[in-house]
A and B are shown apart, each in its own frame.
Chain A
């Protein structure tokens, strides 16, 4: 800031960027909650979140609508978000994406071996989705933590 009571042009742009980022994150949370609410069926055996996702049944129009919402939320919206961030945050996002990919590439065969040995349940689609999602979030947070830690 160039003066205490008058923010400089740079600070005004930074505040605008921060507001835009908050709107983006708020929209992402709302979209995630909406998809979760639509997919969470009262009968857990037939839920998207249950172990047997093949039992899931939806009205055809609802299936198309939810698919479109998922495509928008997990593909179009994040890709557009990539164009709005700077190179540092983009690098952290890419580290997150690699972490998600690695989690599935390694997690699935390990899970399958453990299943074959009788240690865990059979691998299922939602578990793999969670592996990808968890791997992405954890890798992103590890990359982000470098900003916070005095290393």
Chain B
């Protein structure tokens, strides 16, 4: 699965640790999602979408398009 998390984070000038705290996950989890090593659960994906005030599908895609 692909995502735009790194870009969205950079736009807000947040560090991985800052984003991790806002999502209530570890910095390693944010890094793993950004690098595509971990696909977040549906619950976490929705938390991310809510934080960036965007629909989930604008942040995550299955890489098919």
Contact = CB atoms under 8 A, between A and B. Distances in A.
Q: Give the dominant DSSP class at A's interface.
A: helix
A14 B17 contact: yes
A10 B14 CA distance: 9
Nearest to B17: A14
A89 B27 CA distance: 11
Contact of A88 (B14, B15, B17, B29): B29
Interface size grouping (class) on chain B: 20 to 34
A89 B28 contact: yes
A9 B14 contact: no
B11 interface: no
B11 to A, nearest CB: 13
A147 B28 contact: yes
A25 B17 CA distance: 20
The CB with the most chain A CB atoms within 10 A, among B13, B15, B40, is that of: B15
A13 interface: yes
Given A1-B17, A11-B17, A88-B32, 10 more contacts: A2-B14, A9-B22, A10-B19, A10-B21, A10-B22, A11-B15, A12-B21, A87-B25, A147-B31, A147-B32
